[in-house]
Amino acid sequence: MRIALDAMGGDLAPQSTVRGALEAVRENPTLEVVLIGNETAIREHLPGSVPSGIEIHHAAEVIAADDEPVKAVRRKKDSSLVVTVEMARSLQVDAAISAGNTGALMAAGLLITGRMKGIERPALAALIPNLQGKVTLLLDVGANMDAKPLHLKQYAIMGSLYVEKVLGYERPTVGLLNVGTEEAKGNELCKAAYTLLKQSGNIRFIGNIEARELMCGPCDVLVCDGFVGNVALKALEGAASTILSLLKREMTSNLLNKAAAAILKPSLSQFKDRMDYAEYGGAPLLGLRRPVIKAHGSSDERAIKNAVLVAAKFAAQDVNGWIEKELETEPQTESE
């Protein structure tokens, strides 16, 4: 299994990407990771010679976080991100990973690999930890700001197959993110999507889910349009960061609280780990012809390692093949 990794993508690259790749091949010796980027910079973080399971592919350019996505993809042909996706398209590798510019990765996926047959709009997914000790796959979280009911149904099918094949969830449930739980709630998109999801024979639809229930884990897959999903994701990230900051401030405000914090340290560390994106590695761009994983921009080496392992499972389980088979049995009409 060969995985292409954008070694220059992310806030902590290339140190985090190189070290994460090394950890991944140590944990799974059957993997080969192709590190794509400035060869000199990559070699600085390798232990001497290039170890077994690691390959370097030089790419001279880098797409920055503030670059305009489509222009950058078209103009920076020799950027680490573009070359990473191109290697996946040309079947030189089984999957591609980047912690770089999200918009550029999505643009590269669409322009270079293209959409899967039958998929109108690819979706960017996010893994949200919940109280059930699992994660909820939320999609779309920003690939497409506007959506049709058919798109949400396709998101549900793709998301269900991903959590089943990659995360190992049996008979995953699907919810529709909405402002109320009643069937008639929401805007026209939600009302129409509810009907399609309810009628679909390929998913286990359980109805509308309100945003306040998201981290309670009422469903395994939660679908919405990209605008709503991105707002929900940013709100969750902000709330989690604020809570952790306030908790740290209170726990260090006086000697008594510091003593309590010392006693609670194991439990607090466990809580932090459950909320840490590094545990889950990366999120898939579903609906593209080749497996592409978006790692968090602030990914450390542990997050990169997990992203490599997730990408390998994504490819090994042939999630795209399963999606195509499922779509063949699911009627698609213009009215949707």
The pLDDT tens digits of the residues spanning 284-327 come to 999 999 999 999 888 899 999 999 999 999 999 999 999 998 88
Q: What is the pTM of this model?
A: 0.85
Separation CA 295–CA 280 (nearest Å) = 9
* Class at the top of the CATH hierarchy for domain 123-280: alpha beta
pLDDT > 90: percent of the chain: 65
Q: How many helices and strands, by DSSP H and E, does the chain display?
A: 11, 11
The pLDDT tens digits of the residues spanning 90-122 come to 999 999 999 999 899 999 999 999 999 889 889
Q: Taking each helix axis from N to C terminus, what angle separates 301-316 and 15-27, rounded to the nearest 10 degrees?
A: 50
Return all residues near 39 (Cβ < 8 A) that are at least 6 apart.
Answer: 56, 58
The confidence band for 335, taking pLDDT boundaries of 50, 70 and 90, is very low
- Read off the DSSP letter of residue 113: I
pLDDT for residue 333: 55
Q: What is the CATH number of domain 1-119+287-317+326-336?
A: 3.40.718.10
Considering the chain, tell me which residue range(s) the CATH 3.40.718.10 domain(s) occupy.
Answer: 1-119+287-317+326-336, 123-280
- Report how far apart, in Å, the C-alpha atoms of 219 and of each of 112, 120, 135, 137, 284 are: 33, 24, 9, 9, 18
